[in-house]
Structure 1
Amino acid sequence: MASPQEQFIQQWFENFAQEEAYPVLASETVNALATIIQRSPQSVLEYVNRNFIPTGTITRSRPNDSSSGYSIAEANRHLPPETLQLVEKYVMACQRHRTPNDGRRRVNNGTYRCTYACGYRTKRAYDWRRHEETHEPQELWLCLLCSQTDDQSPFLVNRKDKFIKHVKDSHKEWDYERVLEMSKVKFNPKFDPVCPICAIITASWDDRCRHVLSHYENETMRKAKTSMNETRTAALMGSPKCPGRINTWS
């Protein structure tokens, strides 16, 4: 990194970065700085970590982040005991390690890959994020109507679409939007801010997902560009104007 680029980052950091013991840059900030100085986001992050993070500090395990020392019970102690017990059981079941052949989905293909190493792949970004949240739920709905009538088997789920289907199937006389609103659990989820691909620190779950998706989308663009170049080269090799073309008539 050239001296003017380093000076720009230093001035930005001194004037705009929040003063805290363990500074964290959102991926949008890193990408913006990288665009301005025309360097890669990773080189910007490495420079910041090398020059502005206290010696010996490992950003991925810094104190007070939302994943370090996280406890479902402590983070959600505001919930009623019965609800907290259900939430703990549900979330811990989601967080269990899954092998690629656990039977959830036998055919996986696509650019977007599960970052929790269960083998899931998909072609749609929306499906990818929804799958990520089956490992680390970010929202929960506990059916208020079921809780009032069936203490043994209340309906708890982290997917809004499944909850809406449940209400429409089991509580047809109720307005599903009203039940959805009443049944939303005030859940404080776990969030690991470290990108599993490049180790950049992200600011929120939304930020993490956008950042990881950018890796996959850049990978797709690189593959498409390579394929385009190969096609163009093949076309040129068959063109009469190309000195190195292959003569298929000889």
Structure 2
Amino acid sequence: MNHLLLLVALGLAGASPLNDNKVCQPHSRPWQVYLHGGGVSCSGALIDRWWLVTSYTCAPTSYKTIASLGEHDVTVVEGTEQHIQVAEVIRHSPYRSPLHSLTMVRLAEPARFNQYVQPIPLPRRCPQPGETCYVSGWGTTIPNQYEPPQLLKCITVPIVADQTCMNTFPEFLYWSIGMVCAGQVNTDNCLYNGGNVMVCDGQLQGVKWFDHGCTNPADPTVYTKLCIYNDWIKDVMDRYGPTLPPETTTRMTS
């Protein structure tokens, strides 16, 4: 009984690995989205009933990629899923290092919020070095080893200082103010999956950019620093919002 209570406590705290494979407590990340089809298999974070955020490298395709919400085991039907087509894909420009890696995705129909599907708040502040954050995605947590997506995985990582991260960059990569790094030696620092979601203090703080921690576990992994993109995200939601039927207008004028 004590062991069971410990597992429940870990899940509520956000750490929630159930075994050596670092499997998340099922449905403990109701904002996590599995994007698949149209040549992609990656993650995103639901921020609104119409919108989710992912990385540039995820690259979903309108009306070819499916956003699956309420997922844990993507290989079976759990009865909690909502499968919705991707309608609009807006990438931040200019793309990639040393500039930006961020993509907004609008769903073809709104998500239905319930205990398995909930949005994650946008950041109210930026993450600080030493802060503990939680990363989730589908794929292996073992460096340099491929594993097809099945169960949602969770790892716990510390935010590291920008200079510490810069010192690990190969010569062909350049630092950007749009980057934040997390993970270090002797921590769980690898999770293979495009668009991994990083949450700190209950706020969305990153989507994965570069997998450095899976190549060398001593190196931090690079995430898009979402706290500096709040205005851009809100602008995209305003400009590219869905065209809704004029039901309210009709009722008001009739």
State whether TM-score is above 0.5: no
Instruction: Report which of the two structures shows the higher radius of gyration computed on alpha carbons.
Output: 1
The normalised TM-score by structure 1 is 0.24
Q: Which has the higher helix share?
A: 1
The normalised TM-score by structure 2 is 0.23
Q: Which has the higher strand share?
A: 2
